[in-house]
Structure 1
Amino acid sequence: MTDVLGWFFQTFVLTGISLNFMLMGVAFAATFANLVDEQELDPIVQRFNPVLNISILAAIVDLGAPLDYHLIMGAGVYTAVYIIARAIGKYGGARIGATIMHMPETVQKYLGLTLLPHSGVSLVFTGIACATLAPLPDCVSLVQGTIAAAAVINEIIAVILAKKGFEKSGEIRVTSK
């Protein structure tokens, strides 16, 4: 439905402007979820979840497939800067926001750590950025290499940090082996 509306607006209303149909679908779903009563929404969500899960998997595979993982080695400094800046922003922003909102100390300390993993979202926005930068192939390679390397590194390190954040905040129990 959103694809048809997106095509219509791009073809007849907003000529010359490139619309992102994936983001339009997200906006439509969020609007729909906020307009429908919660009791009515639950059965719809239950039926739709299998379709959503397959769609998300297909989208992530589609966005990740064209990434040239050989670019990871060439991204070096940019990847380090991206990972560090993103981590500081996530942790600092969560800490400041939680402090301003007078959240419990555990939220102020550990929420930022739980926000660090990011593969799927970064791949979606990498696809959008690369489509926009298509006339500049060197920039596309740089963005793809940086995000691919950051995703690989973050999915190893950030997941461990997120788990530690959940453990230290008391949200999950540590099981002894």
Structure 2
Amino acid sequence: MEMDILFYLGIILLAGLLFGRLVKFCKLPNVTGYLLAGLILGPYVLRILPADVVSKLDLVSDVALGFIAFSVGSQFKTSYFKRVGFTPVVIAITEALGAVVLVTVGLIAAGQSVPFSIVLGAIAAATAPAATIMVIKQYRAKGPLTETLLSVVALDDAVALIAFGFAVTLAKGMTAGVGGSLLVSILKPFLEILTALALGAILAILFTVPLRFFKKSGNRLCIIAAFVFLATALANLLGVSALLTTMAMSAVFVNVYKSPDDIMKLADSITQPIFVMFFVVSGAELNLTVIPTIGLVGVVYVVLRVAGKWLGATLGGVLMKADSAIKKYLGPTLIPQAGVAIGLTLVAQQVVPEHAQVIRAVVLCATFIYEIIGPAVAKLCLVKAGEIKTENA
């Protein structure tokens, strides 16, 4: 079976590169090509990548998300926050709450029950950083919009978990049998976030130790990979967010180590094949069959989540007197949604079990739509903001 998996990994890499090159003719980002490659080769179209093979490639996703989180966390340098203040924090809160409020109100207006609307509305807060990060890396985007975007998508994970924790508490309060679990429901997301941050900080300090003794690039690559793997594995073991843990590790590391930029560049040098495999596999997991099943609920969710993110990001930018490009273009760059949202659906299905199938179908369909259009929209916004040079576009 090992040879079979290696064969499929070879097909995945080659197909990803081919489709990445083909979409360039349409001036689309490489990541769109990778997702389309997976979608076309996957179990719902050509079936070259069978469902049982795709399900065995979870390790690729874990590794890729670990390195993506490691890259995102490196943006949290104290020098950056001294320069911009609390702008990214405020925008992360307003864009997340914008999506929650608009989706929740829209679903209630569409005749859905309040507990169901609150829970599904809370899932709308989550944003997936992976596709956006790939666009930024491919086109070497630089500027205030790019800086703020990287910070906001990193903070969004924490904000989404907190918002969902409160939503679950509220929804449970409207149903029978909540008993004494309300306090636990409120405190749980905060405890999970604090645990992830503490674990990440401890690993960051430990990360600096072997770097003192190993100076060669090859050895340091091994150390980087080891700590990304450890952060992901330990977070999963403790039941906390692996993304938050690895981001925290990276964020603390870049502020305590004397030359973090060298380490981050080294990490970037090995990630390309990992990212190609991750997005092709993600594309293969996109289930086309759920699209006809989502109905009005799905349409409300897909449309109002984007509107909420856009309005919320704009409001946050206005409140913090941010750069005009941030106020105008940040919202649409926050479209992608994947891992965290899908994970939250598992909890949501327990809170409102009578709506379990609808919640899963809506989130999976939204993931498909957002992941396909999100990278292209992010590129367009970064070009409009003047943060992608014409020759790179």
Fold match by TM threshold 0.5 = yes
Q: Which residue, out of 193, 201, 205, partners 1:40?
A: 205
Q: Find the aligned partners of 1:41 and 1:108 in 2 and give their Cα distance.
A: 39
Matching of residue 132 in structure 1 with residue 351 in structure 2: yes
Q: Which residue, out of 382, 385, 392, partners 1:166?
A: 382
Correspondence for 1:51: 230
Of 90-99 and 71-80, more deviation after overlay is shown by 71-80
Q: Find the aligned partners of 1:76 and 1:129 in 2 and give their Cα distance.
A: 19
Deviation readout 1:86-132 (Å, 9 max, x if unpaired)? 01110000001101111111111111111111111211211221122
Do the aligned residues in 1 keep the contact of 2:290 with 2:361 (CA within 8 Å)?
A: yes
Find runs of 4+ consecutive structure 1 residues off by over 6 angstroms.
none
Gap regions ≥5 residues in structure 1 = 1-14, 58-66
Do the aligned residues in 2 keep the contact of 1:117 with 1:162 (CA within 8 Å)?
A: no
* TM-score, normalising length: structure 2: 0.32
Do the aligned residues in 2 keep the contact of 1:91 with 1:111 (CA within 8 Å)?
A: yes
Relative to 1, partners in 2 of residues 1:53 and 1:175: Cα closer, same or farther, differing over 3 Å?
farther
Do the aligned residues in 1 keep the contact of 2:317 with 2:327 (CA within 8 Å)?
A: yes
**Matches of residues 60-75 of structure 1 in structure 2 within 5 Å?**
70-75=289-294
Deviation readout 1:46-65 (Å, 9 max, x if unpaired)? 453123457559xxxxxxxx
1:146 CA drift (Å): 0.7
1:84 CA drift (Å): 1.0
Matching of residue 29 in structure 1 with residue 196 in structure 2: yes
* TM-score, normalising length: structure 1: 0.66
Matching of residue 90 in structure 1 with residue 304 in structure 2: no
Relative to 1, partners in 2 of residues 1:51 and 1:42: Cα closer, same or farther, differing over 3 Å?
closer
Q: Find the aligned partners of 2:296 and 2:352 in 1 and give their Cα distance.
A: 21
Aligned length, in residue pairs: 148
Two-structure CA RMSD over aligned residues (Å): 3.6
Correspondence for 2:368: 152
Q: Which amino acid aligns with 2:194?
A: A
Relative to 1, partners in 2 of residues 1:40 and 1:166: Cα closer, same or farther, differing over 3 Å?
same
Deviation readout 1:119-173 (Å, 9 max, x if unpaired)? 1121121122112223x2xx10111111111110111112211221222223333
- SS of the aligned residue for 1:131 comes to helix
1:71 CA drift (Å): 3.7
- SS of the aligned residue for 2:321 comes to coil
Correspondence for 1:141: 357
Q: Find the aligned partners of 1:150 and 1:43 in 2 and give their Cα distance.
A: 40
Deviation readout 1:27-66 (Å, 9 max, x if unpaired)? 3112455xx59x7376389453123457559xxxxxxxxx
Larger RCO (CA within 8 A; separation ≥ 6): 2
- SS of the aligned residue for 2:313 comes to helix
Relative to 1, partners in 2 of residues 1:88 and 1:41: Cα closer, same or farther, differing over 3 Å?
farther
Q: Find the aligned partners of 2:299 and 2:373 in 1 and give their Cα distance.
A: 13
Q: Which amino acid aligns with 2:291?
A: I
Q: Which amino acid aligns with 1:165?
A: C
1:26 CA drift (Å): 3.8
Identical aligned residues as a percent: 27
Q: Find the aligned partners of 1:133 and 1:68 in 2 and give their Cα distance.
A: 23
Do the aligned residues in 2 keep the contact of 1:71 with 1:144 (CA within 8 Å)?
A: no
Q: Which residue, out of 324, 330, 333, partners 1:111?
A: 330
Q: Find the aligned partners of 1:163 and 1:53 in 2 and give their Cα distance.
A: 29
Correspondence for 2:246: none
Gap regions ≥5 residues in structure 2 = 1-178, 210-222, 237-241, 244-285
1:70 CA drift (Å): 3.9
